[in-house]
């Protein structure tokens, strides 16, 4: 299972990539593999505020719908429109073209709550 060292992680299986005062968010390779074929993604609304651990997007596989959570508090500043036409990107490139949204974070210290690769590895072991 691919768990890149340079990313942060949540217990709810999102990955987080820091980009200055913003974070890019997707779901982990492990999560996409458990979900199976992703067939629909409901993206968060642009410019919306989100609290930490608030459900702001939905990923639907053939089998089930799953909520995606904001890892920390902030504002949605970008969403991956490509997923509307090709939700399978999440299965094929979970850490690349399958990203879901970009969040401008309110407080950089919040990121300290997140897991590093080692911590996430332990969680799913």
Partner 1 sequence: MNDCLGSLRNTRPSLVSLVIEDSPRKTPLYDEHVWLGAKMVPFAGWLMPVQYTSIVDEHQAVRNALGIFDISHMGQFIVDGAGAREWLNTMLTNNTNKLDISMGQYSFLLNERGGIIDDLIVYRIGDQKFLLVVNAARTEEDFAWLQNHVPAVEPAVSTAKEIRLTDRSAKFGGVAIQGPRTAELFHALFGIDADLPSRNSIADLPFDGTTVSVARTGYTGEDGIEIFFRATDAVELWSSALEKGKPFGIKPCGLGARDTLRLEMCYPLNGSDLSPKRNPIGAGLGFFVDLTKRNFIGRDALLKTKENGAPEKLVAFRMKEKGPPPRPHYAVFQNGERIGEATSGTLSPSLNYGIGMAYIDAAHVKIGAQIDIEIRGKKFPAIIEKKPLYKK
In sequence order, which residues have a C-beta less than 8 Å from that of residue 91 and are 6 or more positions away? Answer: 32, 37, 38, 98
Report the candidate in 105, 110, 109, 45 with the shortest Cα–Cα distance to residue 78.
45
- Closest approach, Cβ 32 to partner 1, in A, equals 10
Among 7, 8, 9, 13, binds partner 1 (CB under 8 A): 13
Q: Are 4 and 28 in contact (CB under 8 A)?
A: no
Nearer to partner 1, 36 or 51 (CB): 36
Options 24-32, 72-80, 97-105, 106-114: segment touching partner 1 (CB under 8 A): 24-32
Binding site for partner 1 (CB under 8 A): 11-14, 27, 30-31, 33-37, 39-40, 42, 53, 55, 58-69, 123-125
């Amino acid at each position: 299972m691919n768990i890149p060292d340079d990313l942060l992680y949540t217990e709810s299986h999102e990955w987080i990539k820091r980009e200055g005062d913003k974070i890019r968010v997707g779901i982990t390779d492990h999560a996409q593999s458990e979900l199976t074929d992703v067939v629909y993604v409901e993206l968060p609304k642009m410019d919306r505020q989100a609290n930490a651990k608030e459900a702001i997007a939905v990923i639907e596989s053939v089998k089930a719908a799953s909520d995606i959570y904001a890892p920390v508090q902030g504002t949605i500043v970008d969403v991956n429109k490509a997923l509307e036409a090709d939700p399978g990107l999440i299965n094929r490139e979970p850490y690349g073209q399958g990203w879901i949204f970009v969040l401008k974070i309110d407080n950089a210290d919040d990121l300290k709550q997140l897991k590093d690769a080692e911590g996430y590895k332990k969680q799913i072991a």
